[in-house]
Amino acid sequence: MRALVLVDIQNDFMPFGALPTAEGDAVVPVANALASAFDLVVATQDWHPPDHGSFARNHPGKEPGDVVELGGVEQVLWPPHCVQDTPGAAFHSALDVAPIVHVVRKGTDPGIDSYSGFFDNDHRTATGLEDYLRDQGVDEIVIAGLATDYCVKFTALDGAGLGFRVTVVADGCRGVELAEGDTERAFEEMRDAGCTVVESTELLG
């Protein structure tokens, strides 16, 4: 059984959002087309409280891009984004949410970030996505969304580590590119971990 996992297709990761990816809105039609070809579609949502430890403003003297320790692991600091119940945290208005049967909200603990849809960044707390997928008999996940170099990458790596077959849809993803080349390096890391990287046309007959 195969599931489509749509990662963080939220306003704040769009070109007009607080933590933009270039052309992030281009993933929306790809996600919609893929969703119509899958029997099971789930989504993740970055869902931070206002005092989240990944926000630079919550660390006096720090700026976005600085690195601190949070929850025992290295944490890149970001502008405030995807604050719970704000418009920035909402799915892009053109994303077809009707096929999405399960949403995992992550990054809710102010003391640790969660890039992956499966675990917090310290790998100590699971989000419940693995249990949900196993209950549905899923053994293969296909991933699209934002951002390639953060939440897509860590969701793919954790999925592969958990034993799922993982396919990442390249044209259905865009990266933050804090450093130039991060997106391409992320695809390489995912391939090295056993994930398959494809174009959406290869999945849409």
Q: Given the rule CB under 6 A, which of 25-33, 147-155, 164-172, 185-193 is the region that contacts ligand VGL?
A: 147-155
- Determine if 104 is a binding residue for ligand VGL (CB under 6 A): no
- Determine if 46 is a binding residue for Zn ion (CB under 5 A): yes
Among positions 151, 166, 168, 203, the unique one binding ligand VGL when judged by CB under 6 A: 151
Q: How far is the CB of 129 from ligand VGL (least distance, A)?
A: 14
Q: What is the DSSP string of the chain?
A: -EEEEEE--BGGGSTTSSS--TTGGGHHHHHHHHHTT-S-EEEEEE-B-TT-TTBGGGSTT--TT-EEEETTEEEE-B-S-SBTTSGGGSBPTTS--TTEEEEEEE--STTS---SSSB-TTS-SB-SHHHHHHHTT--EEEEEEE-IIIIIHHHHHHHHHTT-EEEEEEEEEE---SSTTHHHHHHHHHHHTT-EEE-GGGT--
Among positions 11, 43, 53, 78, the unique one binding ligand VGL when judged by CB under 6 A: 78
Q: How far is the CB of 150 from ligand VGL (least distance, A)?
A: 3
Spot the catalytic one: 25, 113, 149, 151.
151
